[in-house]
A and B are shown apart, each in its own frame.
Chain A
Amino acid sequence: MPEREGTYGLLAEFDTPSQLVRAAENAYAAGYRRMDCYTPYPVEEAAEAIGFHKNEVSLVCLIGGMLGVTAMFSLETWISVWSYPLNIAGRPYFSWPAFVVPAYEWTILFAGLSAAFGMLALNGLPQVYHPLFNAPNFRNGATSDKFFLCVEANDPKFEPAETRSFLEGFAPVSVVEVEY
C-alpha cells in the first residue's frame, strides 16, 4: 500500500459511554457516515447509533459447519464402503449411525473455527498498523476506561473546522486530529 499522508480523522474522547452514544447518535443524524466508536468493552448502543446493525459472522459459521459435516460424513462413507471395507462384527459397511459421531464433532470444529477466524477476517485483523494509534490519548484509554468517537476525513461531510466544533458541542474531554 502506498504511504498515505494527511488527516485520518477527528477523534473525540469521552468519559462515559452515555456521552459517547449521544454524540454518535447526533453525528449520524447530522449525516456523518464514515465514523467509528472505540470502547473498552462492547457497547451495543454505540453500534446501533452509527448504523451498524448486522454482521456476517453467523453466515460464515453456518457455511463452515455444513462444510465440516459434509467433509467428515463423506470421508467416513468413502473409507468404509469403497476404500477400505472392513467387516466389523457383521455390521453394514455403511453404518451411518456410527458415522454421525465424528461428523458431529467436525461440524462443531469447522463451525467454531469459521466463527473465530471469520470474525477476525471480517474485522480486518490481524492488522499491524492503524493510524488511530498515532493519537496520543488513544492508547491511554481506548482499551481501559475511555470512550472514543472518530469521524473519518474521507466522509463526504467532513470539514476539519466544522466537524471539530460539531464534536466539541458534546462536551468531550478532548478532540484531536489523527494523522496517517
Chain B
Amino acid sequence: MLDPVTGEQRVIAPGHTFKSVTEKISRIVLTPHTPLGWFAGFTLAGGVATMLLVAVVWLFLRGTGIWAITIPVAWGFAIINFVWWIGIGHAGTLISAILLLFKQGWRNSINRFAEAMTIFAVVCAGMFPLIHVGRPWLGYWLFPYPSSMNVWPQFRSPLLWDVFAVSTYATISVVFWYIGMIPDLGTLRDRSKSKIAQFMYGWLALGWRGSVRHWVRYETASLLLAGLATPLVLSVHTVISFDFAVALVPGWHTTIFPPYFVAGAIYSGFAMVITLAIPIRKFYHLEDMITIRHIDNMGKVMLATGLIVAYGYATEVFMSYWYSASHWEYFMMWNRMFGPMGWSYWVLVTCNIALPQLLWIRKFRANPALIFLMSLIINTGMWFERFVIVVTSLYRDYLPSSWGTYRATRWDYATFVGTLGLFTFLFFLFIRFLPMIPMSEIRMMLPQAKIRPEAELSHEAGD
C-alpha cells in the first residue's frame, strides 16, 4: 500500500491502534488454540533435528573418521557449515543494531525474529568447531583458566581469537535479544489468562512496569548495545576470515577476505530473514506489520551486499591470475574454476552473482513468492562459496603427489541437514512462546504516538 505523502510503500498498514497492534501480536502467543500447522511443522523439524542427535552420537562414539575430512582436505563440512551458519546470524545483528543506529524505523517489525534467528544460527554454528575438535569433552581447554597442567592458550592464533569472538557474539546476542523482549514479556504477563503463563512471563519480565524513568535507561542501554554490537558483528566475521587469511594457503591468504566475508555474511543472513519472514507473515496473517516495504528493502540490501561479494570474487580472480605473479595462486584459481570440482565455482557464480541481478527489478522485489525463491538460491550460493573456499583451496596443494579429493559422507550430510532441523525446531518454539514482533517498537511507529501540542489537543477534545 502506497503512502500518499511520500509515495513509498507503507511500513505498517494504516488503521492500527495501540490496542490492535498489541492484540494482533500477543494473540499468536497467548492463544489457547495452537494452529495445527504449527504442530505439523514442529514435529517435522524435531524429526530432522533428531538426525543431528544421531549423527553427533555416532561421531562421539567413532570419532571424526566418520566424516570425509582427510589430508589434504582437513577442513570439510564442519568448517563450511560453521561459517555459513554464523554468517546467517549476522543479518540479525545488522537489522537490530546497525539499522537501529541509522534510525531505519522499518526494521522494527522484523528485528525480533531476526535476532532470534541470530541466536539459533549461532547455536548451530558454535556446535561445529566443538564437535570438530575430536574430543569435545575437552573443549574448555580453549579458554584461559588456571589448570593443574600449567598450560595456557596461545594468543597469537586466529583460532583462539575465534573462541573469544564467537563466545562474545553469542553472549551479547542473547543479552540484546532478552533485554529487547522485557517490555513485551510484561505485556504478555498482563494479558495472559492462564496462571502458568502469568507466572512464567511474570518471572521473565522481571517486574517491568513501563515507568518512563526505566524507559529512558532502557533506551540508552539499547542504543549502547546496538553501538557495541555493530563493531562486534563486523569483528566476528573478520576474525573468522582470519582463520583462513592468516594461513599461507593459496586461495586463503588474501587481504580481501575480511570485508568480503562480512558482506557475504550479511547477504546470506538477509536471505535467511526473507526465507523465514515470508512463510510466517502468510501463516500468521502479519501482512500489516511485515509489509511489501520490508520485503522490498531487504531485497535492496541483498542486491547491494551481493554486489560487494561479486567485487570480492572479482578481486580474488584478478589477484591470483594477474597481480600476484605467483604460480601457486594462478594454479589454485585455474583449478578452482576448471578443475575436477570446478562445477562448485560455477554454482556459486550462478546463485550469488548472476541470478540475484533480477533484484534490480522492483516488481520482482515486491513479489513475496519470487523473492522467497531467490532467498533460497542465495543461501545455496553462499553455502557453495564456503565450500569453494574451504575445499577447492585445499584438495590440490603444492605437491601433485599429495593431491586428493573430497567426497562428503552420509554423516556429513546428516549433520548438516540436522542443524537445519535444529534451527527450524528452535524457531518454531520461539514463534509459539515469545512475541516475534516487538510490540513496544511497533506502537512507537504508529501516528498516534506523536505528541501533539496543547492547542490541537483541546481542539480534539471539543469535537
Contact = CB atoms under 8 A, between A and B. Distances in A.
B449 A112 contact: no
B209 interface: yes
Interface of A: 16-19, 21-22, 36-47, 50, 52, 55, 57-58, 61, 72, 75-76, 79-80, 83-84, 86, 88, 91, 95, 98-99, 101-102, 104-106, 108-109, 111-113, 115-116, 118-120, 122-123, 125-130, 132-133, 138-140, 142-145, 171
Given A41-B449, A104-B235, A140-B190, A115 B224 contact: yes
Given A95-B156, A106-B164, A118-B221, A84 B151 contact: yes
Contact of B17 (A91, A119, A145): A145
Contacts of B165: 101, 105
A120 to B, nearest CB: 7
Given A43-B451, A109-B171, A125-B206, A36 B213 contact: yes
A46 B449 CA distance: 12
B157 to A, nearest CB: 8
List 9 A-B pairs, minimum CB-CB distance, nearest first: A145-B18, A127-B207, A119-B221, A126-B206, A42-B215, A84-B152, A144-B22, A143-B187, A105-B164
B217 A38 contact: no
Pick the most buried of A21, A116, A142: most chain B CB atoms within 10 A of its CB: A116
Given A102-B164, A127-B206, A144 B191 contact: yes
B154 interface: yes
A125 B214 contact: yes
A142 B452 contact: no
Given A80-B156, A144-B26, 16 more contacts: A42-B212, A42-B216, A42-B218, A42-B440, A43-B212, A55-B213, A58-B224, A75-B144, A86-B154, A98-B155, A102-B164, A105-B239, A109-B172, A112-B229, A143-B190, A145-B18
Contacts of B461: 171
A22 B206 CA distance: 30
B186 A58 contact: no
B75 interface: no
A113 B171 contact: yes
Contacts of A139: 190
B179 interface: yes
Pick the most buried of B158, B183, B214, B443: most chain A CB atoms within 10 A of its CB: B214
Contacts of A91: 156
Interface residues of B, number: 69
Contacts of A36: 211-213
B175 interface: yes
20 contacts: A17-B448, A38-B212, A40-B439, A41-B183, A42-B444, A47-B213, A76-B155, A91-B156, A98-B156, A105-B161, A105-B164, A105-B168, A105-B239, A118-B221, A125-B206, A125-B208, A130-B209, A142-B209, A144-B18, A144-B19
A129 B18 CA distance: 26
A101 B232 contact: no
Given A84-B150, A105-B235, A111 B228 contact: yes
A116 B225 contact: yes
A58 to B, nearest CB: 6
Interface in B410-463: 439-441, 443-444, 448-449, 451-452, 454, 456-457, 461
Contact of A123 (B217, B229, B444): B217
B183 A143 contact: yes
A21 B156 contact: no
B93 to A, nearest CB: 12
Given A125-B206, A142-B190, A145-B17, A108 B457 contact: no
Given A84-B152, A127-B206, A132-B209, A108 B172 contact: yes
B160 A38 contact: no
B239 A101 contact: yes
A133 B451 contact: no
Nearest to B440: A41
Contact of A57 (B210, B211, B220): B220
Contacts of A120: 206
Contacts of B456: 18
Given A41-B443, A109-B168, A112-B229, A102 B221 contact: no
Nearest to A77: B155
Contacts of A84: 150-152
B42 interface: no
A82 B206 CA distance: 45
B220 to A, nearest CB: 4
Given A75-B144, A144-B19, A47 B215 contact: yes
Contacts of A106: 164, 168
Contacts of B17: 145
